[in-house]
A and B are shown apart, each in its own frame.
Chain A
């Protein structure tokens, strides 16, 4: 009797059909990250092999991410139920358009940073495990973009955090330990808030599958506790994303590790917070998000202002970039702050604004990574990242200076590069949502960033190297300049390749934005109306 029961139960709780090969795609990025990460860990004494293995691994990861993006773009949201359990029992890996876009951007910057690290991280630090940590962290980031289960999302946050802890202390210089202490404590508290909220969410809904929660929340009558829950989620994600007033850990820590580590962090970690905020607040709890929208609008405005003013006040290139990351986060949050028009109007401000915000997030992932890498190259060439000591880059490295100029235009939101279109969308959306002050803040923050970038460019690139100007005679001057700029090792070319890759995207996304705009519009539609997401998980089952 028991066996009959069991097969009946199995038929009810587990999938009976076997999966096609393409259905396994959602799990592949994680598999690649963990296989490569652990193989590199086993080869920790053979540091010479690390870049040789890691870069093809990252290229494979990017190829898989692009395959997923293509699959989702052509066939819609895809779901893989782990262990063959039917939803809502097992853990679901669900990738919709938004997840696929973030995933691909993450794979792209991971590859760029992997190539850059081959040139810039010295073998001693490679032995401490730069590449294994890189793969673990990218595994966590990819997992967060792929999963369809909210507790699983928390676990991926923690995987990503522990990988980033490993990367941030690599080298153990004094300022690294200082920055790492602040980074670790505050991020741990942030994810703990996430865990608290998830515990209460389970208490309310009895399920952790995001599609299931979205269904149940939409049908819920007594929505009193949900506002508290969503506020708690907002606090934890804002902390992760470094939104004002919870941003203090970012400027305290992001300039301390290696340049390539900063670049990875700046590109990816804060954006995971943004992604989770959009996923949970906008897709699962839209009415509560709408109630909080005034708060989010203030947070977004102040984050943009703090980012812009902070960038103006810094005298170190990398610390200035820390504040540019924060300003970017504020700009993305503007999309989340827009009011939602009554159902049925799919062209409302939130649709335009969210599409712009996702576009801006992708742009920010790529441009911030590129700028930190550029700061690394500049510091390597001029011997310092302090604006007091930099100089001469325009004359001695015109190609590099040109790339950085493009990136500065993009980060300030000036046409014709990738930062312009999303800002245009956000301004249009805020104006049509009757929030002109928020639109003004987007523009004002862009203005402050323009001044800050112009200052870096004028001081670090246009003016001659201060050390050479102060030199007593021409011979001495020639010697200093020669030492700095013509000591072109083989690593110089290798560190320009990732910059070229990232800048190419910035230019393409700025000059031909339609393809990306179509994708972000489709991503926004999928978040605003989660029926596609829910259908993908449940496949029409009740």
Chain B
């Protein structure tokens, strides 16, 4: 099970990096989503996968009786999901706005901040 999931994560990582290397913002956005999911999966696997019970304690006890699965990676993944989702929402709006204002989603053509024909600084006066 761990092995299969590891391979799945590796595939997700490679898709994410492939997409992130694209020049087009829309593909990079997809890359960011897939990357965050790949990361979440790898944190999840790092908590060790077992088929034992969920981390629930019976109501009349204060400690679990049988071995339970580790709840902490799930808490970490939950935090990471929230953060990744909010960042993705921000990036989506930003990219859309940049597309509207700059009329391009090709990062090579986004040269407003770094104009090509700036030339040398003045060499004397």
Q: Is the CB of B36 within 8 A of A192?
A: yes
Residue A540 is within 8 A (CB to CB) of chain B in the complex: no
Question: Which residues A1-35 have CB closer than 8 A to chain B?
Answer: 2-3, 5-6, 9
Known interface pairs A9-B63, A188-B32; A195-B39 also in contact (CB < 8 Å): yes
**In the assembled complex, which residues on chain A have CB atoms less than 8 Å from the CB atom of B83?**
155, 158
Known interface pairs A9-B62, A202-B46, A252-B113; A181-B98 also in contact (CB < 8 Å): yes
**In the assembled complex, which residues on chain B have CB atoms less than 8 Å from the CB atom of A202?**
43, 46-47, 72-73, 76
Complex: how many Å from CA A162 to CA B89?
11
Residue A180 is within 8 A (CB to CB) of chain B in the complex: yes
Complex: how many Å from CA A174 to CA B120?
23
Question: Which residues B98-116 have CB closer than 8 A to chain A?
Answer: 98, 101-102, 107, 110-114
Which A residue's beta carbon lies closest to that of B60?
A2
Q: Is the CB of A315 within 8 A of B121?
A: yes
Question: Which residues A171-216 have CB closer than 8 A to chain B?
Answer: 172, 174-182, 184-185, 188-189, 192, 195-196, 198-200, 202-203
Complex: how many Å from CA A455 to CA B125?
11
Which residue from A313, A314, A463 sits with its C-beta under 8 Å from B125? Answer: A463
**A interface, over-half SS:** helix
Complex: how many Å from CA A532 to CA B114?
47
Which B residue's beta carbon lies closest to that of A158?
B83
**In the assembled complex, which residues on chain B have CB atoms less than 8 Å from the CB atom of A387?**
121-122
Which residue from A172, A196, A251 sits with its C-beta under 8 Å from B114? Answer: A251
Q: How far is the CB of B119 from chain A (nearest CB, A)?
A: 7
Which residue from B60, B86, B97, B110 sits with its C-beta under 8 Å from A162? Answer: B86
Q: Is the CB of A174 within 8 A of B102?
A: yes
Complex: how many Å from CA A28 to CA B31?
38
Known interface pairs A169-B94, A192-B35, A315-B118; A6-B62 also in contact (CB < 8 Å): yes
**In the assembled complex, which residues on chain B have CB atoms less than 8 Å from the CB atom of A169?**
94
Known interface pairs A5-B63, A195-B39; A188-B87 also in contact (CB < 8 Å): yes
Q: Is the CB of B63 within 8 A of A199?
A: no
**B interface, over-half SS:** helix
Q: Is the CB of A196 within 8 A of B97?
A: no
Residue B28 is within 8 A (CB to CB) of chain A in the complex: yes
Q: Is the CB of A255 within 8 A of B122?
A: no
Interface 1/0 per residue, B42-82 and A, CB below 8 Å: 11011110000000000011110000000011001001100
Residue A369 is within 8 A (CB to CB) of chain B in the complex: no
Q: Is the CB of B113 within 8 A of A175?
A: yes
Which residue from B20, B86, B113 sits with its C-beta under 8 Å from A253? Answer: B113
Known interface pairs A155-B79, A181-B95, A185-B32; A455-B62 also in contact (CB < 8 Å): no
Known interface pairs A9-B62, A175-B113, A178-B110; A162-B98 also in contact (CB < 8 Å): no
Q: Is the CB of A151 within 8 A of B91?
A: no
A/B interface sample: 21 pairs, CB < 8 A: A2-B61, A9-B62, A158-B83, A177-B101, A178-B111, A179-B113, A182-B113, A184-B91, A184-B94, A189-B20, A195-B43, A195-B80, A196-B42, A198-B43, A199-B42, A199-B76, A200-B46, A202-B72, A313-B121, A455-B121, A459-B121
List the 4 shortest-distance A-B pairs measured between CB atoms, nearest first.
A203-B46, A199-B43, A315-B121, A175-B113
> 11 new A-B pairs (CB below 8 Å) besides A192-B39, A316-B118?
A165-B90, A165-B94, A177-B98, A177-B101, A178-B112, A182-B113, A184-B94, A188-B91, A202-B47, A202-B76, A387-B122
